Amino acid sequence: MRQTYGKLLPGMKLSDLAGKLIVVEGTDGAGRSTQINMLRPWLEELGHAVLDTGMTRSLLAGEGIRRAKEGNNLGRVTQSLFYATDFVDRLENEMIPALRAGFIVLTDRYIYSLMARAIVRGMDAGWIRGIYSAALVPDAVFYLRLDVEQLIPRVIFSRGFDYWESGMDVFPGQDMYENFRSYQAALLAEFDRLSVEFNFETLDASADAKLVFAQLQAKVQRILDRDSKKTSFTKVYDQAAAAAGTYGGHPVTLPRETTSKQSDWAFHPVAANLFRENGRNIPEHT
Amino acid sequence: MNTGSNMRIGPFEVFYPIEESAPRLRHNGDPSLPGRLFVVEGIDGSGKSTQLSLLHKWLESKGYGVVFSQWNSSELVKDTTKLGKKKKMLTPATFSLIHATDFADRIERSILPLLKAGAVVLCDRYIYTAFARDVARGMDRQWVRDLYGFAAKPAVAFYFRVPLETAIGRLVTGRDGFKFYEAGLDIGLSDDPTESFRLFQGRIVDEYEKMIPEFGLTVVDATLPVEVQQAQVRQIVRTHLERAKELRVRP
């Protein structure tokens, strides 16, 4: 069953969250949204319902955070808690309902980015972990890793330096460039620590986006396969019934290729029961 | 990372070094701040705001530099809280977090710098309000306490204790009806707003009672005449201010 990092919020039920929670993490400019924009249509083509979400997209606090960041008076504790509000609103109102409905939830950043940012801003690591202890443990965290040196050209030749991405509220550097380097390096160091603690799967984000995507596809596919083996009880039951030649009292015609494999089911608990119920001999395992 | 930033809060310029927030978070407030913080707590209708406003006027008349801060009043955050309440979007968790965000903004930009500058700060409701309400909504007791670990410890936290029926009697005559979250209608104790209010406030009183020994709240009997309560409050506040050095004088 799905778990949280320690705490349950009031009314939070974990028993029927059948979907998959997949996190894409990485520093600013690592290509997270590019990858999510490719993952989503691919998964939908495979027939999966997908919800994608990310920081400051909550109905409750998204707008408030954007407005607060426009000014020059958003403090560090306030910022950390505003983001926590945004996260929990999306957790409770988007991610959990989507998982319950069997969706694949793709999230652009998760609690790890929020923790890294808060810690770099001087917040106590235990304090911020405690706040996010009600977050769900995801099925996978793909960490798109990029060194500061590799990151800089991506930023200067696309959107330029941003006040917050340069940590201008934290570092008393000479200019945006100096600050960007110090801030992103500090974030990266924190991410590297978190990647061990929280079992990130690290991908080299300096590689071509298509290559990164191919790696992500393979990794996501594995999660989906693992799921179909582990939980698709009905599929096993159907096959077992087919092997036993009956299902709920009705004879089942066996396709030729499964007939020869009857004995494979002999030791399967579901199949064994079916054989017994129908008074048939369990075939010898060959 | 050694330099901080100069903040101008009202008449005071405060040096606010950057690296201090981490230990402050761990140690739950810094008692060495030169200013003094007094807070009032209690359920709606306990008369705490009346008492605080009388205290405020008295301190000003004595020449102290006094600043007042109200629960849920951050300019940066209150629009979000308002949206959440109006659209009934808040769950117990987001209700808790958005109020903590509001409180953090007031702590960071106002309360802490003012205490560093040697002001007397008065708060109508403080972290104990959050502890009482959030736990009454089902939040984990320890989680909420940890959440507010960055708060400054008040010199005195007054708890105005009043029987539930007295408080409700004062409120019912004073206004028409209860608001959705105020009555705890979000947690479904009862469909009737007055009944829900009664049940919800009952839970809050239980939490306050537990906090009296836990945090050393100073209990004031809020059924006594206003003047008697105020005399008690002033006496306690006076002893704290006499001991304090470096307090600001009102310009």
**Is residue A46 included in any domain, yes or no?**
yes
Report chain A residues whose CB lies below 8 A from the CB of B137: 10
The reply to whether A238 and A186 lie within a common domain is no
Q: For A38-70, how does the pLDDT look when each residue is reduced to its tens digit (9 = 90+)?
A: 999 999 999 999 999 999 999 999 999 999 999
The reply to whether A189 and A103 lie within a common domain is yes
Q: Is A282 strand, coil or helix? A: coil
pLDDT at residue B25 in the model: 42
Q: For B29-76, how does the pLDDT look when each residue is reduced to its tens digit (9 = 90+)?
A: 455 788 999 999 999 999 999 999 999 999 999 999 999 999 999 999
**Is residue A156 included in any domain, yes or no?**
yes
**Is residue B176 included in any domain, yes or no?**
no
Tell me what the mean pLDDT of segment B173-195 comes to. Answer: 87
Tokens 């409700």 identify what position?
A: B168
pLDDT band (50, 70, 90) for residue B15:
very low
Residue B120 region, left (φ>0) first, then alpha (ψ -120 to 50), else beta?
beta
pLDDT at residue A257 in the model: 38
Count of A-B CB contacts under 8 Å: 123
- Number of domains comprising chain B: 1
Average per-residue pLDDT for chain A: 84
Assess whether pLDDT exceeds 60 at residue B24: no
**Is residue B107 included in any domain, yes or no?**
yes
pLDDT at residue A71 in the model: 87
Report chain B residues whose CB lies below 8 A from the CB of A60: 80, 83-84, 89-90, 94, 98
Tell me what the mean pLDDT of segment B12-38 comes to. Answer: 53
**Is residue B190 included in any domain, yes or no?**
no
Tokens 């629960």 identify what position?
A: B71
> What is the dihedral angle through the alpha carbons of A69, A75, A81, A83, rounded to the nearest 10 degrees?
20
The reply to whether A200 and A241 lie within a common domain is no
Sheet holding A20-26, edge to edge: A50-54, A104-108, A20-26, A140-145, A201-204
Q: For B226-249, how does the pLDDT look when each residue is reduced to its tens digit (9 = 90+)?
A: 999 999 999 999 999 987 777 877
pLDDT at residue A154 in the model: 86
Q: Which of B7, B26, B77, B109 to mutate to test the interface with A (most CBs of A within 10 A)?
A: B77
DSSP E strands in B81-207: the ranges are 120-124, 156-161
pLDDT at residue B16 in the model: 36
Q: Which of B42, B144, B150, B145 is nearest to B92 (CA)?
A: B144
Give me the DSSP letters along B104-133.
HHHIIIIIHHHHHTT-EEEEES-HHHHHHH
Assess whether pLDDT exceeds 50 at residue A243: yes
pLDDT at residue A172 in the model: 75
pLDDT at residue A268 in the model: 46
Q: Is A22 strand, coil or helix? A: strand
In this complex, which of B22, B101, B137 lies closest to A122 when CB atoms are compared?
B22
pLDDT at residue B247 in the model: 81
CA of A99 vs chain B CAs: smallest distance (Å): 18
Residue type at B82 in one-letter notation? K
The reply to whether A133 and A218 lie within a common domain is yes
Report chain B residues whose CB lies below 8 A from the CB of A68: 76-77
In this complex, which of A75, A121, A131 lies closest to B147 when CB atoms are compared?
A131
CATH for A61:
3.40.50.300
Tokens of A69: 């960041």
Q: What is the span of the domain harbouring residue B72?
A: 5-163+201-241
Residues in chain A: 286
| B-chain residue closest to A173, CA distance | B1
Q: What is the span of the domain harbouring residue A127?
A: 20-231
**Is residue A285 included in any domain, yes or no?**
no
pLDDT band (50, 70, 90) for residue B5:
very low
Q: Which of B167, B164, B75, B65 is nearest to B118 (CA)?
A: B65
pLDDT band (50, 70, 90) for residue A190:
very high
Quick check: A124 and B91 CB within 8 A? no
Report chain A residues whose CB lies below 8 A from the CB of B101: 78, 81-82, 84-85
**Is residue B248 included in any domain, yes or no?**
no
CA of A8 vs chain B CAs: smallest distance (Å): 8
ipTM of the complex, rounded to two decimals: 0.86
The reply to whether A143 and A242 lie within a common domain is no
The reply to whether A34 and A146 lie within a common domain is yes
The reply to whether A158 and A239 lie within a common domain is no
> Quick one: what percent of chain A has pLDDT higher than 70?
79
**Is residue B174 included in any domain, yes or no?**
no
**For residues A8 and A255, what is the distance between their CA atoms, to the nearest angstrom?**
48
Comparing B44-53, B158-167, B174-183, the range with the smallest average pLDDT is B174-183
Report chain B's terminal Cα–Cα distance, integer Å. 34
Report chain B residues whose CB lies below 8 A from the CB of A61: 80, 98
Residues in chain B: 251
Tokens 């306990």 identify what position?
A: B46
**Is residue B94 included in any domain, yes or no?**
yes
- Number of domains comprising chain A: 2
**Is residue B221 included in any domain, yes or no?**
yes
CA dist B101 → A83, A86, A249, B130 (Å): 9, 11, 62, 12
Q: Which of B159, B79, B71 is nearest to B107 (CA)?
A: B71
The reply to whether A126 and A217 lie within a common domain is yes
The reply to whether A192 and A247 lie within a common domain is no
Quick check: A122 and B105 CB within 8 A? no
Assess whether pLDDT exceeds 50 at residue B11: no
pLDDT at residue B64 in the model: 92
Report chain A residues whose CB lies below 8 A from the CB of B110: none
Half-sphere exposure of B236 (CA within 13 A, CB side): 19
CA of A185 vs chain B CAs: smallest distance (Å): 14
Comparing A5-19, A26-40, B18-32, the range with the smallest average pLDDT is B18-32
**Is residue B38 included in any domain, yes or no?**
yes
Separation of CA B200 from chain center: 19
CATH for B45:
3.40.50.300
- Final residue of a structural domain among A231, A250, A265: A231
Quick check: A7 and B143 CB within 8 A? yes
The reply to whether A185 and A248 lie within a common domain is no
**Is residue A167 included in any domain, yes or no?**
yes
CA dist A260 → A8, A160, A245, B41 (Å): 49, 65, 12, 77
> What is the dihedral angle through the alpha carbons of B182, B184, B185, B191, rounded to the nearest 10 degrees?
-110
Assess whether pLDDT exceeds 70 at residue B155: yes
Assess whether pLDDT exceeds 90 at residue A136: yes
